[in-house]
Amino acid sequence: MKKIFLIVVGFTCVAGAQDMRENLGRSLFADQKANRVGDAITVLILESSSAVNGAKTSTSRASDLSLGAKVSTGAGSGTDISGGVGTGNQFKGEGSTSNTGSVRGKLSAHVDSVLANGNLVINGSRSITVNGEEQIITVSGIVRPSDIMADNSVYSFNISDAKIVVQGDGNITKVQEPGWLTKVFHWLF
């Protein structure tokens, strides 16, 4: 009976054994942060941009040329001759542009590769469709392990070489675009 029990216990241990090298880098007491290829990481997208550009130009130029002469014959009043030439040029121009944008979101990405210095190359996307309007958010870049927070998330402004793309497709997007005839006229002129 002891033999059968030992065989069953031995078989269970062999069948359910884990490779301890697999969990070598994982600690029971530390936070589980992404550090290997295939690990998931949460990206908190908090991006805002603002740009203002203004220009003002004012130029002015004026020229005057005058000529005057008085001729008298000695007997009385003389003849006055006068002339004048004037030119002027004036230009004023103003222009300004202003652009603001804000993107907020949360998505999960995965580690594509680990660089030699330990930094992680990440890539992820999320597609959301509401009432026939599809919105696709993609993010990619390089993350330092020290920028990963305890809950395995990273802010988008801590991603180096970050590429964040938000695209929409649907009826609202199509209505906002100019028609094909307008596009042809813009292309020609």
Sheet with strand 160-169: strands edge to edge:
153-155, 40-71, 79-114, 120-130, 133-143, 160-169
Rg of the Cα atoms in the chain: 38
Model confidence pLDDT, tens digit, residues 92-104: 878 888 878 888 8
Please state the pTM of the whole predicted model: 0.56
Tokens representing residue 63 in the block = 């020229």
pLDDT at 43: 95
Q: How many other CB atoms are there within 10 angstroms of residue 156's CB atom? A: 19
Cα first-last separation, the chain: 95
